Amino acid sequence: MIRALEGYWADQGCVLMQPYHTELAAGTMNPATFLRCLGPKPWKTAYVEPVIRPQDGRYGENPYRFQHYFQYQVILKPAPEDVLDRYFESLEALGIDLRRHDVRLVEDDWEQPTLGAWGLGWEVWCDGMEITQWTYFQQLGGVDVELVPAEMTYGLERLAMFLQGKRSAFELEWAPGVTWGDVYRESEREWSAYNFELAPVDVLEARFGQHEEECRSLVERRLPLPAYDQVLKCSHAFNLLEARGAISVTERAAYIGRVRTLARQVAQLYLELESEGDGDAAA
Amino acid sequence: MATLLLEIGCEELPAGACLEAAEQLPGLVERELGAPPSAVFVGPRRLAALVDVDERTPDEWIKGPPENLAERAAAGFAKKHGVKVEELVSREGFLGVERAGRPLREVLPDRLDAIVRGFSFSKSMRWDESGIRFARPVRWTLAKLEGDTVVGETSFGHRFSSGSLEIPHAGQYAERLREAGVEPDAEERRRQIVAGLDAIGDWSDPGGVLEEVVFLVESVTVLEGSFDERFLALPERVVVTAMQSHQRYFPLGGNRFAFVANGGDPETVRAGNEVVLEGRLDDATFTFERDVQLGIDRLAERLGSITFFAGAGSFTDKADRLRALVEKLGGGEASVEAARLAKADQAAELVREFPDLEGHIGAEYARLAGYPEAVCAAIDEQYLPDAAAGPLPQTEAGKVLAAADKLDTLAVSFSLGHKPTGSRDPYGLRRAAIGLCRLAVEGGLTVPRELMPDEVREFVEERLEGLIDVPVEYVRAARASAAPDLGAVARLAETLYAERETPEFDAVYTAYDRANRLAGREAESAAEELDRSLLREEAEQALAETLAQVGDSVSADGDVRAALETASALGPAMERFFEDVLVMDEDPAVRANRLRLLLDVRDTLGRLGDLSQIPR
């Protein structure tokens, strides 16, 4: 399945990226999406992203909820006119017969407050199952996008369940003779215990502050890429704190505001450097 | 006359955007083409209109300056419209420009573009360099004047079962689309869906998803599915919510459901949808069983670690405050027990999945734990009314608990400085305040005003102004009365308004007004207490006497009409007083005493409200 997607999107001219090296709650947060979608330069990419959502873990007991799963992320910037047709072709490349199934685009507007980002789009339903989150970005880091990118995020486990006709992710055949459960179930159990019970709240709170501080100083040194990693680390610390139930409703808004401020500063700096770079090149 | 077809082809529009477009399209067509459409078609992938038009645009006359100002103004006007001064034409004393009509086909591209740009959606987006904002990207436009293609090339049929589609003639639009698997007319799709559901029978739509489903499909296939009966162990509303708000299905009762597909092989699509729903129900069952295993009492014990509101403690603290409030509201045993358990479902995993079912899930868990029905019903009803005109709780315990919940939320939010400002009201405080007023006014619940801190009371009582059907001045007058509870304030305002033209009201109003005008400003120089020995004139003695007689029975609590009647006895006494007595006596002690007498009259009548608010 992943091979089919890689092949299809490589043929569409996408740069095939690899997963990022720190915890992300969504493929959107990978700098290959978040930062590259800013500014006036065209960009096409596709990659697998393991996403980490501490709150969604269920100790490997619930066949639909995990704190770690996979997305397949595609960005076409700017979105070509036939972008939806290209997406539907990718489903055909996966072996989905669009005439046999009921494939629909159901309104779903996307917002990521920690990143000051939003867009309009759909969830793609195949016979009622959501298989892709589809978004035209409008703002990232509080900045209006210049070239509107199309983002397609396939939920790989869901898609595999659909293709294999399985009712539980644990039963998915992940490789011949090996199920998804064989590979990840124990990891779900252990990480759920850590996320919900053991992650040290005071350490995480301190870490959040340190990453925030480091991000600021890196912004001052005009290094947006390392600064962005600190935003991601803040975001992950926040997600863990939330899973630990250590954040009240009002505190939550304050934390989100802090991460958003950082994301905005990094986005602006990234754009500044990019336009300066263009200036140099022109000179 | 000729038939014109305009079609705007889009990527799938949300239902809300379709409704907005349907509202705006006729007006935009008329603005740009001078005639309203004879038919409008709205669906997720296309907005279209048929218009009967002239093939030429009408001649135009652009009115300019009056002839007698020609020397000063003609040159500028001519330049603005790109003509020479000599070309200006005079009509009825004014200069102007004549513009001959043009063939419609020449102007159509611009007019269609203006229609596309003329839409305004509550949520819109950009997608390319055109700068157009629309609910979703516009991917093609088509204009056909009779059989001629003026803008664009073709239309498109069903997304997956058909491709580009020739429309030979504007008048054949709907017919050709139907052949290509698209029903363009929203009303016809709705009719087909309802007919399909009726054919299956016994369908319901408590969440109102029909309106959305009409705009989720271009081609209607109504299918029926079922799920494993073991999921019937879940609370029914959990099952219905999973079906309706997540999947847009229509419950058929029991383990059956209906849904509308946009195409595909019916057997495959039905099987797929059944798997998806069972997946969702399986997931819900998993959380439900974990919650039930704990039970509502254990869930309630966990509330101590869940923050209700930063600065306002945990949900355990909230439950304690609710209990105290319920007692002050005169609630019985059931409501006290319900208050203890009301928030237990905040610790339930199922509520995290189905947040709209908070309260209801707690009630179901209380039932499973064997609590009396009165307790369970109260837990179920605690958030009512949850909309401006939504239903009120039906049980007494439910009313008391619902009022206590709102009182607490308001008091806590205000004390922490989270007051609604302008249109911002993230904690739903306006809705809570209106709900509280309705519980008092319509639900007949006694809500003592003393239970509300001043700021909260102001805020809540301001909502009364919009809620009851009397002019605001009467509500404002009543708010300043000594009425002890919200319902009494409302009844007082209503009675004052109903009685406004009676002689009794007039007597009371006049007495209040005169006393207030004269003594109100001089309140500082009034004596602290009335000294009867200083009352020299007969008229002032009589007034004091009447006041002493009626005093105690002037009350806003109870029969206001009777109170008005009693108080009206002060009218003649006051009249005589003002005829015979000079308030501003030379002797300061006498003067102070007379001012005190008038203030006592004002304050006694003032128990019926600040009558000075009422304009006469």
Beta strand pairing call for B89-91 and B94-99: antiparallel
> A60 with A185: CB under 8 angstroms?
yes
Supply the mean pLDDT for chain B: 93
Rounded percentage of chain A residues whose pLDDT exceeds 90? 85
Instruction: Decide: helix, strand or coil at residue B69.
Output: helix
- CA-based nearest residue in chain A for residue B277: A128
* Extents of the domains making up chain B: 2-56+103-179, 60-99, 186-288, 298-494, 499-613
Does residue A279 have a pLDDT over 60? no
Rounded percentage of chain B residues whose pLDDT exceeds 70? 100
Does residue A223 have a pLDDT over 80? yes
Interface membership of A66 toward B (CB under 8 Å): no
Answer with the one of A172, A196, A220 that is the final residue of a domain: A196
Predicted confidence band of residue B353 (pLDDT cuts 50, 70, 90): confident
DSSP at B57: P
Pick the CATH number of B499-613 from 1.10.357, 3.40.50, 1.10.730, 1.10.760: 1.10.730
- Taking alpha carbons only, the member of A87, A175, A99, A174 closest to residue A131 is A87
pLDDT at B217: 96
- CA-based nearest residue in chain B for residue A149: B127
Does residue B494 have a pLDDT over 90? yes
Tally of residues, chain B: 616
Query: Are both A149 and A46 inside the same structural domain?
Result: yes
Query: Are both A19 and A115 inside the same structural domain?
Result: yes
Answer with the one of A178, A196, A214 that is the final residue of a domain: A196
Tally of residues, chain A: 283
A-B C-beta contacts closer than 8 Å: 110
Is A106 in Cβ contact with B268 (below 8 Å)? Answer: no
- pLDDT tens column, B213-263: 999 999 999 999 999 999 999 999 999 999 998 899 999 999 999 999 999
B123 neighbourhood in chain A, CB within 8 Å:
109, 120
Query: Are both A134 and A235 inside the same structural domain?
Result: no
B161 neighbourhood in chain A, CB within 8 Å:
99
| Number of folded domains that form chain A | 2
Query: Are both A164 and A269 inside the same structural domain?
Result: no
Predicted confidence band of residue A280 (pLDDT cuts 50, 70, 90): low
DSSP B180-247: TT----HHHHHHHHHHHHHHH-----TT--HHHHTTT-SS-EEEEEE--GGGGGS-HHHHHHIIIIIT
DSSP at B328: H
Which range among A226-235, B66-75, B408-417 shows the weakest confidence by mean pLDDT? B66-75
Please name the member of A62, A81, A109 whose beta carbon is closest to the beta carbon of B283. Answer: A62
pLDDT at A282: 44
Please name the member of A65, A106, A127 whose beta carbon is closest to the beta carbon of B273. Answer: A127
> B378 with B334: CB under 8 angstroms?
yes
Give the CATH number, domain containing residue A269: 1.20.58.180
Give the residue-averaged pLDDT of B350-378. 94
Helices and strands counted in chain B (H then E): 24, 13
Does residue A281 have a pLDDT over 50? no
Give the CATH number, domain containing residue A109: 3.30.930.10
Q: What is the CA radius of gyration of chain B?
A: 36
Which range among A87-96, A218-227, A252-261 shows the weakest confidence by mean pLDDT? A252-261
Answer with the one of A137, A171, A196 that is the final residue of a domain: A196
Longest Cα separation, chain A: 61
Dig out the tokens for B69 from the structure. 């100002």
B355 neighbourhood in chain A, CB within 8 Å:
none
Query: Are both A216 and A171 inside the same structural domain?
Result: no
- CA-based nearest residue in chain A for residue B303: A245
CB crowding B150-187: b at 16 or more within 10 Å, else e: bbbeebbbbbbebeebebeebebbbebbeebbbbbbbe
Instruction: Decide: helix, strand or coil at residue B386.
Output: coil
> B594 with B540: CB under 8 angstroms?
yes
Residue A142's domain spans which residues? 2-196
Nearest Cα of chain B lies from the Cα of A254 at a distance, in angstroms, of 11
- Taking alpha carbons only, the member of B58, B49, B45 closest to residue B27 is B49
- pLDDT tens column, A43-66: 999 999 999 999 999 899 888 889
Does residue B424 have a pLDDT over 70? yes
Does residue B573 have a pLDDT over 70? yes
Q: Does the domain formed by B2-56+103-179 have CATH 2.60.40? A: no
Which range among A102-111, A188-197, A273-282, B599-608 shows the weakest confidence by mean pLDDT? A273-282
pLDDT at B60: 83
Is A65 in Cβ contact with B283 (below 8 Å)? Answer: yes
Looking at domain B298-494, which CATH architecture does it have?
Orthogonal Bundle (1.10)
Query: Are both A106 and A239 inside the same structural domain?
Result: no
Dig out the tokens for B427 from the structure. 């904690």
> A266 with A215: CB under 8 angstroms?
yes
The alpha carbon dihedral of A29, A35, A41, A46 has a sign of negative
Predicted confidence band of residue B542 (pLDDT cuts 50, 70, 90): very high
Query: Are both A64 and A137 inside the same structural domain?
Result: yes
Beta strand pairing call for A43-52 and A15-16: parallel
In A102-191, the DSSP E strands lie at 103-107, 110-112, 117-126, 129-140, 143-144, 150-155, 173-175, 178-179
Query: Are both A30 and A114 inside the same structural domain?
Result: yes
DSSP A167-210: S-GGG-EEETTEEHHHHHHHHHHHHHHIIIIIS-HHHHHHHHHH
Query: Which ipTM was obtained for this model?
Result: 0.92
